[in-house]
């Protein structure tokens, strides 16, 4: 999925001629703490933050006159959803501006809309068991892990890898298309994989889904 499919048209950009007071009002209205700023040619100048606006000496002055130091977190419209999730994690921004190949501003994606879209990915949406494995980075091959699962008549619906700083160890978490995973666990152990955790019941997954829904309701208030 390209990012131009996720652009939130309800979040307007600020012009650098807009006032500081207007920017603060928009942030309050749209419940964000960052907004993109563009010039008269729709070139992205960067993100202005709520903290910077609050520190401005004159709320009636223009954004340009305030000489803010813009946050330059942005992505190209041809990037993927996972790229924007990474930007949110690294920068703690509440929106990410999207530009085209000519660096013209196309729109922005809010943190809330990105999280909602992430929830539609099969790893989170589809039902099934979850297994976490710990192994050395140089031993990691998703093909072998998938083959072990398929040996037991199951399928890998999705996976993600977590690293640990300077450690050579990684944690690979996979989701399987069924809750009964004892045979899969036994096969992993037979191949000397270290199973660090597993979740194989629908009640646990329903609990996770409920927590996700509660989190989204909180973000929308």
| Angle in degrees, 0-180, between the axes of helices 142-151 and 182-190, rounded to the nearest 10 | 130
> Of 107, 86, 104, 108, which Cα lies nearest the Cα of 96?
108
CATH code, 125-200: 3.30.70.260
| CATH code 3.30.70.260 region(s) in the chain | 125-200
Place of tokens 């929308």: 220
Q: What does the CA dihedral 125, 90, 26, 59 come to, rounded to 10 degrees? A: 170
pTM, whole model, 2 decimals? 0.68
Place of tokens 């729109």: 107
pLDDT at 147 over 70: yes
3-state secondary structure of 109: strand
pLDDT tens, position by position, 6-44: 887 888 999 999 999 999 999 999 999 999 999 999 999
- Count CB-CB contacts under 10 A for residue 132: 16
Query: What is the pLDDT averaged over residues 202-216?
Result: 61
3-state secondary structure of 168: coil
> Of 132, 151, 110, which Cα lies nearest the Cα of 195?
132
- Count CB-CB contacts under 10 A for residue 70: 16
pLDDT at 98 over 60: yes
Cα separations in angstroms, 178 against 118, 162, 206: 21, 23, 14
Confidence band, pLDDT 50/70/90 cuts, at residue 122: low
Query: What is the pLDDT averaged over residues 207-218?
Result: 62
pLDDT at 207 over 90: no
Q: In this predicted structure, what is the pLDDT of residue 210?
A: 65
Provide the mean pLDDT of the chain: 87
Q: How far apart are CA 33 and CA 111, in angstroms?
A: 11
Q: In this predicted structure, what is the pLDDT of residue 50?
A: 94
Under a CB-based contact definition with an 8 Å cutoff, are residues 140 and 161 in contact?
yes
Q: How far apart are CA 180 and CA 55, in angstroms?
A: 57
51: Cβ–Cβ under 8 A, 6 or more apart, which residues? 33
Write out the two tokens for 113.
Answer: 């809309």
Under a CB-based contact definition with an 8 Å cutoff, are residues 97 and 4 in contact?
no
Cα separations in angstroms, 100 against 74, 75, 132, 160: 11, 9, 38, 29
| CATH code 3.10.580.10 region(s) in the chain | 3-118
H-helix or E-strand containing 91?
helix 81-91
What is the CATH topology of the domain spanning 3-118? Answer: CBS-domain (3.10.580)
């Amino acid at each position: 999925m390209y990012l131009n499919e996720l652009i939130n048209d309800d979040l307007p950009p600020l012009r650098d001629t807009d006032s500081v007071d207007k920017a603060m009002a928009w942030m309050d209205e749209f419940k964000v703490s960052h907004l993109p700023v563009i010039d008269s040619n729709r070139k992205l100048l960067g993100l202005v933050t709520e903290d910077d606006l609050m520190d401005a000496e004159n709320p009636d002055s223009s954004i340009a006159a305030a000489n803010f130091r813009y946050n330059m977190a942005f992505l190209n419209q041809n990037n993927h959803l996972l790229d924007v999730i990474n930007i949110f994690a690294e920068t703690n921004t509440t929106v990410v501006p999207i530009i085209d190949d000519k660096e013209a501003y196309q729109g922005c994606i809010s943190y809330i809309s990105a999280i909602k879209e992430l929830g539609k990915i099969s790893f989170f949406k589809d039902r099934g068991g979850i297994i976490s494995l710990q192994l050395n980075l140089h031993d990691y091959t998703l093909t072998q892990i998938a083959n072990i699962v398929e040996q037991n008549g199951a399928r890998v619906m999705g996976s993600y890898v977590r690293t640990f700083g300077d450690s050579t160890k990684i944690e690979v978490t996979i989701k399987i298309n069924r809750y009964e995973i004892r045979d899969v666990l036994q096969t992993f152990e037979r191949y000397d994989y270290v199973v660090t955790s597993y979740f194989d019941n629908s009640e646990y997954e329903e609990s996770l889904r409920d927590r996700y829904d509660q989190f989204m309701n909180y973000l929308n208030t």
